[in-house]
Amino acid sequence: MLRRFRVEGHSMEPCFRWGDRVLVERWSFTKRWPREGEVVAVRHPFRRERVLIKRVACVWEDGQCFVIGENPSDSHDSRHFGAVQREDVIGRVWFRY
């Protein structure tokens, strides 16, 4: 249950740079909600074909996540589109290469 993604953009710098590849594991969130501080892959709420890599800033009781980029001046995140629904969280970034 691992998926590979490539980082595009500067929103997560300096933690993740354009061109980095990440492995996203999906099994953690089958038994629990994402936690604040975890880096996750999420579907963009309005452009469903896009996957975003962001850090969880806040989790509500119903599982909605407020996600933000590490580089606020160059990040399109929950400050622009609101909280991400639980079903749009693909998984936790597990490994970068």
**Among the options 11, 28, 75, 78, which is catalytic?**
11
User: Is there a catalytic annotation at residue 31?
Assistant: no
- How far apart (Å, rounded) are the C-alpha atoms in residues 79 and 76? 7
Query: Pick the catalytic residue: 28, 31, 54, 73?
Result: 54
Q: Are the beta carbons of 35 and 93 closer than 8 angstroms?
A: no
Q: Measure Cα distances from 71 to 2, 14, 39 in Å.
A: 26, 8, 14
The CA distance from 80 to 34, in Å, is 20
Other CB atoms within 10 A of residue 72 CB: 10
73 catalytically annotated: no
Which amino acids are annotated catalytic?
11, 54
